[in-house]
């Protein structure tokens, strides 16, 4: 695997690969790689000739400086995992490489209500930071395919809006959520949970599976109430939201027939760790 830190070198190599007819896949990450990230690499390897992974802990998408500082950076281990996965190129830029004018000089995008809804409401400015970093990566790598996890469902919606607005030819490929044995969605932040908290956090996925298995038996408001009660019964859990949304438009739905596809999205804090999960119903 080639490791490059400079955008210009990365751009030159990808241009060369493309000139020889290679189809390019990009997997953007913040590192501390786990099986969820590696599933994206695997998908990209299957569908492209050249797979690029980026590792960059993006300062502009964090709301709390403490969360940014504490974000794990096991770079050597990540490189080993990417080599095993036979990733072709790791782009490992530093902050100046991506934000040459500094992190306060951000571009503004018209992401609409998505920017201020659910995750956007709880994390002001988060999606502006995500859009800024992904826009910059897309300009450097110009991938044919961009691999994103369903785990961050609203992020996928935001990036779909960005691609449309900026007229990028890149296609988004959304990959399924990889889970731990108790159902907990894999996340680099799970490392910050104690063993007991991690066990308890399995209750979030159990609630989503309960919804998936029962939604035809209840009205939506009733099932939402029951599900919220389940989450609230998890020790140390503080529910931020559990919302039923149109999976395409990503707007709230209040009955089963008001959308062709429904996704249930939730954000729950267990002690100080904020966890996201979701499930597609139909």
Residues near ligand AMP (CB under 6 A):
29-30, 36-37, 39-40, 148-149, 151-152, 175, 177-178, 185-188
Measured from the CB atom, the residue of 80 and 221 that comes closer to ligand AMP is 80
Smallest separation (angstroms) from ligand AMP to the CB of 249: 20
Task: Report the alpha-carbon distance of residue 161 to residue 27 in Å, rounded.
Answer: 18
Smallest separation (angstroms) from ligand AMP to the CB of 160: 13
Measured from the CB atom, the residue of 91 and 220 that comes closer to ligand AMP is 91
Measured from the CB atom, the residue of 40 and 279 that comes closer to ligand AMP is 40
Smallest separation (angstroms) from ligand AMP to the CB of 69: 16
Point out which residues pair with 171 in neighbouring strands.
145
Catalytic residues: 37
Residue 29 to residues 12, 148, 176, 242: CA-CA distances in angstroms? 21, 9, 16, 25
Contact 151, 278 (CB under 8 A): yes
Q: Taking the CA atoms of the chain, what radius of gyration do you get in angstroms? A: 19
- How many Cβ atoms sit within 10 Å of the Cβ of residue 134? 25
Measured from the CB atom, the residue of 163 and 223 that comes closer to ligand AMP is 163
Q: Which of 258, 274, 204 is nearest to 234 (CA)?
A: 204
Strands (E) in the chain, as ranges, are 2-4, 24-29, 50-55, 89-91, 145-149, 171-175, 237-246, 262-270, 273-280
Measured from the CB atom, the residue of 114 and 223 that comes closer to ligand AMP is 114
* 3-class DSSP state of 31: coil
Helix, strand, coil percentages in the chain from 3-state DSSP, rounded to 5: 50, 20, 30
Smallest separation (angstroms) from ligand AMP to the CB of 7: 19
Smallest separation (angstroms) from ligand AMP to the CB of 90: 13
């Amino acid at each position: 695997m080639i490791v490059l830190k400079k955008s210009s070198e990365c751009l030159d190599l990808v241009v060369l690969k493309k000139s020889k007819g290679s189809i390019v896949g990009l997997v953007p990450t913040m590192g501390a790689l786990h099986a969820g990230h590696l599933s994206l690499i695997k998908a990209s390897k299957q569908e492209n000739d050249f797979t690029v992974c980026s590792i960059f802990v993006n300062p502009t998408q964090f709301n709390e400086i403490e969360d940014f500082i504490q974000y794990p950076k096991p770079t050597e281990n990540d490189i080993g995992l990417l080599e095993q996965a036979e990733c072709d190129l790791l782009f490992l830029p530093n902050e100046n490489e991506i934000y040459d004018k500094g992190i306060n000089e951000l571009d503004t995008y018209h992401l609409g209500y998505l920017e201020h809804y659910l995750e956007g409401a709880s994390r002001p400015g988060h999606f502006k930071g995500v859009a800024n970093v992904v826009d910059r990566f897309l300009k450097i790598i110009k991938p044919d395919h961009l691999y994103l996890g369903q785990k961050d469902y609203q992020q996928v919606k935001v990036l779909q809006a960005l691609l449309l607005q900026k007229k990028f030819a890149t296609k988004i490929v959304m990959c399924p959520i990889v889970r731990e044995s108790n159902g907990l969605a894999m996340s680099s932040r799970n490392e910050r949970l104690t063993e007991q908290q991690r066990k308890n956090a399995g209750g979030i996925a159990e609630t989503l599976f309960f919804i998936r298995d029962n939604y035809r038996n209840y009205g939506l408001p009733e099932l939402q109430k029951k599900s919220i009660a389940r989450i609230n019964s998890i020790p140390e859990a503080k529910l931020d939201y559990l919302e039923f949304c149109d999976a395409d438009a990503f707007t709230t739905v209040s009955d089963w027939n008001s959308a062709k596809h429904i996704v249930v999205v939730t954000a729950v804090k267990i002690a100080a760790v904020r966890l996201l999960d979701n499930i597609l119903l139909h």
